[in-house]
Amino acid sequence: MFGERNFKVGDLVISKMPIELTFDDHIVKPGEVGLVISLMQYQDWLTGEYDYLVLIQGREVFFFDHELELYESPKDTP
C-alpha cells in the first residue's frame, strides 16, 4: 500500500520492475538485489517523493515501496 514502510535500513530487497537510469544509461532489471541505505521523509510520499534509497549494482537508486520486495535467502536443506 502506498505510504507504508515495509523495509528498514539494512534490509536486502529485490527490484520488482525495470528501472531505467537515464543519467548513466543503465537499467535495473527485475530480480536484482539491493541494500536499503536510507529512508526518505515519510511526509514526502504525499508529494510524489520516493520512499527509499537503495544501493543496487553499485548505484544509489530511489524507489517507491511498491517497486520492492524483501529478499529472502534460500533455505539450506540438510
What's the pLDDT score for residue 3?
A: 55
Global pTM? 0.81
Q: Are 48 and 62 in contact (CB under 8 A)?
A: no
- How many whole angstroms separate alpha carbon 22 and alpha carbon 9? 26
Work out the pLDDT band at 1, boundaries 50, 70, 90. Answer: very low
Summarize the confidence of residues 59-75 as an average pLDDT.
Answer: 91
- Regarding predicted confidence, which is higher, 23 or 4? 23
Residue 31 — very low, low, confident or very high, per pLDDT cuts 50/70/90? Answer: very high
Name the phi and psi angles at 43, rounded to 5.
-65, -20
Q: What does the domain layout of the chain look like in residue ranges? A: 12-70
Report the CATH fold assignment for 12-70. Answer: SH3 type barrels. (2.30.30)
**Average pLDDT of the chain, as a whole number:** 85
- 15 has a pLDDT exceeding 60: yes
